Amino acid sequence: MGLILELTHRCPLQCAYCSNPLTLDAPKSELGADEWKRVLDEAAALGVLQVHFSGGEPVARRDLVELVAHASGRGLYTNIITSGVLLTEAAMASLLAAGIDHIQLSFQDAEVAEADRLGGYRGGHAKKLEAAKRIREAGLPLTANFVVHRQNVDRVEAMIALGEALGADRIEIAHVQYYGWGLLNRSALLPMPDQLEHCTAAVQAARTRLKGVLTIDYVVPDYYAARPKACMGGWGKLFINVSPSGKALPCHAAETLQGFTFPSVRDQALADIWATSDAFTRFRGDSWMPDPCKSCDRREIDWGGCRCQALAIAGDAASVDPACALSPDHDLMRQAIDQARDASPALTPRRLAGV
Ligand code: SF4
Ligand code: FES
C-alpha cells in the first residue's frame, strides 16, 4: 500500500515528542537522488500505491521536487509530511508543477508562543500559517495535524478551530505515540485522565458539529487503551519505511528492536526485502504470536499490537503489546501514568547530535 521515505533526519524544529530514533542518521549517510529514484521505481513495480515523503523535514532535501516528479511519473500518489516552515512560495510552486497530490502540515499548538516553544523554533508557527494558506491557494487537499500531549491538550478546541479557519479537509488530533524522543520525554508529555476525557469529548462534539464539512481523525494514547492499535496495519502487511541511510524497516521505530539486521535498499531489491527478509517476515501474520493473542478473536484485527512498544515497555518484542488489558504487563502502562503525574515538565529537545 504505502512507501514511507524518511528522506533526511535533518529538521529545523526540535519537537521533544519526535518518533525518530535517538541516534539520528547523519546527513552524509543519506541516500542520493538516484538511489531514491531507484527505490521509487522498485516500489512502483512492486505495486505500491502511495509514497509519503517524510523525515525529519523532507523539504530540507534540495532534490525533493525532483523526487516528487519522479514518483508522480511512475503513477504513485504523492504526499509530503512537513512542518511547513521551509514551504516557501517558490517551493510550493515547484512541488505543484512536479505533481504533488497532498500535503500534511503539522502544528505544535494553536497558541503562537507555546507552538514556537514546543517546536523549538521562533517564528515557526507564523510560517506554518503561511504554508497552510499556500497549500489551499494551490488547490491541494490539506490535512492539519496537531500532536497533543499534557502540555497543550487543554487547547484542543482552539486547535480544531484553527484547522477549520485554515480550510483543512482533514484535521488530525493525534496523541503522542511514545517512541524515540517521545519515549525519552514520556513523563513530561503523558496526559492525565481528566485531560484525556476533555479532549475526547471535544473531538466528539466537533465531529458532530462538522459532519459532512470536514473529517477529524483522532489517535488516542495507548497508555489509556484496553486493546492495542493495529500498529502500521500489521507488521510487514501494508508499509515499507526507508530510513535516510537506506534501511528498510517495517515501522519507523523498528531500529530499536534488538536481534534484527535490517536490509539496506542499497544492497537488496525492495521486492526481495518485502517477500523474504527476516525483518519483514518475523512478525508477519499470526504464526509468531504468543498466548493469549494466538487464540484471540482480535488477532487479525490488531495483529497483536505494536512490537516496538512490547519491547520498550515489557522488554520483549515478541510479547503481547502491554496496551492490551489481556497482557500480563498491562499494569506497566498505568504505572507510567502514575509516574508522570508529578514529573517535571522539562523537555529534552530532539537534536541531530543526539542526547
Ligand atoms: Fe490483540 Fe493479542 Fe490483546 Fe487479543 S490478546 S486483543 S490479539 S493484543
Ligand atoms: Fe514498530 Fe509499532 S512502532 S511495530
Residue 16 Cα to ligand 1 midpoint, Å, equals 30
Q: Which atom of ligand 1 is nearest to the CA of 305?
A: 8
Q: Which atom of ligand 2 is nearest to the CA of 307?
A: 4
Contacts of 84 (CB under 8 A, 6+ apart): 105, 106, 127, 128, 130, 131, 132
**Cell numbers placing 261:** 539486521
Residue 320 Cα to ligand 1 midpoint, Å, equals 7
Which residue has a Cα nearest atom 1 of ligand 2?
A: 308
Give me the torsion for CA of 211, 142, 251, 221, rounded to 10°: -40
Q: What is the pLDDT of residue 162?
A: 98
pTM here is: 0.95
- Binding site membership of 16 for ligand 2 (Cβ less than 6 Å): no
Q: What is the pLDDT of residue 122?
A: 97
Q: What is the pLDDT of residue 31?
A: 98
Q: What is the pLDDT of residue 48?
A: 98
First vs last C-alpha separation in the chain? 34
The answer to whether 303 and 296 have CB atoms below 8 angstroms apart is no
Q: What is the pLDDT of residue 352?
A: 84
Residue 314 Cα to ligand 1 midpoint, Å, equals 15
Q: Which atom of ligand 2 is nearest to the CA of 254?
A: 1
Q: Which atom of ligand 2 is nearest to the CA of 19?
A: 3
- Binding site membership of 253 for ligand 2 (Cβ less than 6 Å): yes
**Cell numbers placing 216:** 477529524
Q: What is the pLDDT of residue 258?
A: 84
Residue 227 Cα to ligand 1 midpoint, Å, equals 7
319 DSSP 8-state letter: S
Q: What is the pLDDT of residue 120?
A: 97
Mutate to test the pocket of ligand 1, among 291, 293, 313 (most ligand atoms within 8 A of CB): 293
Which residue has a Cα nearest atom 2 of ligand 2?
A: 306
- Binding site membership of 313 for ligand 2 (Cβ less than 6 Å): no
Q: What is the pLDDT along the chain (355 residues), one digit of tens a residue?
A: 999 999 999 999 999 999 999 999 999 999 999 999 999 999 999 999 999 999 999 999 999 999 999 999 999 999 999 999 999 999 999 999 999 999 999 999 999 999 999 999 999 999 999 999 999 999 999 999 999 999 999 999 999 999 999 999 999 999 999 999 999 999 999 999 999 999 999 999 999 999 999 999 999 999 999 999 999 999 999 999 999 999 999 999 999 998 889 999 999 999 999 999 999 999 999 999 999 999 999 999 999 999 999 999 999 999 999 999 999 999 999 999 999 999 999 999 999 877 6
Contacts of 165 (CB under 8 A, 6+ apart): none
- Ligand nearest to C-alpha 319: 1
Residue 226 Cα to ligand 1 midpoint, Å, equals 10
